[in-house]
Structure 1
Amino acid sequence: MAPLPVAVGITVFRPTPAQVAALCARVEADPRLTIVFDNGGLPPEAATGLKQRGARVLSEGRNIGVGGALDALARAATAAGAAQVLLLDQDAEFPPGQVAALEAALARLSASSPPPALVGPRPEAAPGRKAPSAPRRPEIPDDGSLVPVEFLATSGSLIDLAAYARIGPFRSDFFIDGVDLEWCFRAWARGYGCWMETQTALPHRVGAGVIRSRLLGIEMPRQPPFRMAAYLRNSIYAWRLPHVPRRWCLRQAAYLPLQALLYWADAGFRPGILAGLAGGVLDGLRGRLGRPRGLPS
């Protein structure tokens, strides 16, 4: 049997009724195989409705984090015979028709050197949010509308599953933040490229608003304390990984203290917040990863 061109993998966590309805509508509108990973909170009747519409619903009965969910989706897509998997989260407004642009981009890049690991849309900020960063990869030329990037948000990314098998799985011990960054840096180090298709875009809804400082010249998503601590932890731990470029480590060494200060100020300089951030930093230095402290049950 010829491989399916693309399977769609969607991670959900405590979806709202509106998100469930949008997901069901998407499954009905897209002839591609859709695999949903429930990281917790998907109502049984919603899971049944998705299955009745042709989706496959996976779950381990608990929150295993973003990295673990993405790997489960990639494995299931591979087992189903797909050649690529489009990864989305429950907020993604990425109509089935847009997927064709990424399929065409991946096909264009198939003969390039290095070969592509993924191609994804241009990140945009949903109203009141901050778009994820997608810094340009130095010394690699553009290919028309395709731009090489250091890393790209996994939501909206079309992953080549043969490349995934060689690059290795996403880091489940990072749990939530930095999963996409680490995997893309590893892809480049192992002879694959990560690309952004600038002619198609995906709005992102990271966090619950934006924290800005004109004085410091930075802005960042407003996240719950456990997630900010996990972001600091994973960023600092990544500095020890040989495939993470030194230029990125130096940039983060200057940027992270400013982000932590801005976050603490936005939280009213509460001592408990500072203690949580410091705990994340220490966990990163000591290599204590996995389920973040303070993660809601």
Structure 2
Amino acid sequence: MSTSPASPPPSVAIGVTVFRPDAAQAAALRARVEAEARPTIVFDNGGLSAEDAAHLRRHGARVLSAGRNIGVGGALDAIARAAAEAGAACLLLLDQDAAFSPGQVSELEAALARLRGLDRPAAVVGPRPEAAPGRKAPAYPRRPDIPDSGSLVPVEFLATSGSLVDLAAYARIGPFRSDFFIDGVDLEWCFRAWERGYGCWMETGTALPHRVGAGVIRSRLLGIEMPRQPPFRMAAYLRNSVYAWRLPHVPRRWCLRQAAYLPLQALLYWADAGYRPSVLAHLAGGVLDGLRGRLGQPRGLP
């Protein structure tokens, strides 16, 4: 009696991290899973309803959870392990706000295939960042001394959301830093990828709107703008940035840039918060934690 051949392993898996999704975000996640032919892995860091989780599973998604908030880095690593176990070659990472079509996933897959002919293999390729209405898009500094490859630009780092990761490269570069918990996870991993002989690339031919924070803080006098974040997140950003200065794979040029930029950001954030002493103490605590190497769950995490 003949049997049907086993299905080939997926070339690309989709990984989505969620944390306290609102009704619109949960509905968008359900719609994404229903429309996506590729296997989807969802990591719930807290707040996904049992009803939504059951709906996702009925439509083929795998829903993971540690039963608590383990941070972005830990969630991404759990998704990457699950995708590798399923036989996927690449993993497209998204957060719960990302509006990224299946066609765009195919564009990144094609871009990663084009990069395989380079001397330095690509670890990750991601879309051009755009600002969603009322938000600030991240900026990806160009990697020096490496030429473009058509529409692909070598960059120092990419946000994880929207990034297509080569899982073979991930296995060699190592996992995301779970002790960073939330901010700087993508930056540190990409610098580590470059140091270990891999490349990080931005595909300028496709874009992803970013919705980080709750608005934008701007200073024309200082010439900077930044997402408006809760104090625990701003403190974690400062902590991880300061700690990263001691890592040998983080370029000195980046450390010097941050040393000049972080005090301005902290001042702008404090001013936006009404110069409240409690906010300044929270930010200073984050800097001290970075200097002392105290990582993990940030102080004041909801």
The aligned runs of 1:56-95 (5 Å cut-off) are 56-95=62-101
Does residue 1:190 correspond to 2:196, yes or no? yes
Does residue 1:263 correspond to 2:269, yes or no? yes
Does residue 1:23 correspond to 2:48, yes or no? no
Q: Which residue of 2 is the match for residue 282 of structure 1?
A: 288
Size of the alignment, in residue pairs? 296
The aligned runs of 1:228-247 (5 Å cut-off) are 228-247=234-253
Q: Name structure 2 gaps, 5 residues minimum.
A: 1-5
Q: What's the offset of the Cα at 1:3?
A: 3.4
User: Matched residues in 1 for 2:15 and 2:121: separation?
Assistant: 22
Q: What's the offset of the Cα at 1:20?
A: 1.3
Q: Which residue of 2 is the match for residue 295 of structure 1?
A: 301
User: Matched residues in 1 for 2:36 and 2:57: separation?
Assistant: 14
Residue 241 of structure 2 aligns with an amino acid whose one-letter code is S
Q: Which residue of 2 is the match for residue 273 of structure 1?
A: 279
Q: 2:227 aligns with which of 216, 221, 228?
A: 221
Residue 200 of structure 2 aligns with an amino acid whose one-letter code is C
The aligned runs of 1:106-185 (5 Å cut-off) are 106-185=112-191
Q: What's the offset of the Cα at 1:212?
A: 0.3
Q: What's the offset of the Cα at 1:132?
A: 1.1
Q: Secondary structure at the match of 2:54?
A: helix
Q: Secondary structure at the match of 2:93?
A: strand
User: Matched residues in 1 for 2:104 and 2:115: separation?
Assistant: 18
Q: CA RMSD in A?
A: 0.7
User: Matched residues in 1 for 2:58 and 2:200: separation?
Assistant: 35
Poorly superposed stretches of 4+, deviation over 3 Å: none
Residue 72 of structure 2 aligns with an amino acid whose one-letter code is V
User: Matched residues in 1 for 2:50 and 2:250: separation?
Assistant: 41
Q: Secondary structure at the match of 1:197?
A: strand
User: Matched residues in 2 for 1:182 and 1:100: separation?
Assistant: 26
Q: Secondary structure at the match of 1:3?
A: coil
Q: Which residue of 2 is the match for residue 202 of structure 1?
A: 208
Q: Secondary structure at the match of 1:49?
A: helix
Q: Deviations over 1:127-159 (max 9, x none)?
A: 000001211100000000000000000000000
Identity rate, percent: 83
| Range moving further from structure 2, 159-168 or 130-139 | 130-139
User: Matched residues in 2 for 1:20 and 1:130: separation?
Assistant: 23
Q: Name structure 1 gaps, 5 residues minimum.
A: none
Residue 173 of structure 2 aligns with an amino acid whose one-letter code is I
Q: Deviations over 1:145-201 (max 9, x none)?
A: 000000000000000000000000000000000000000000000000000000000
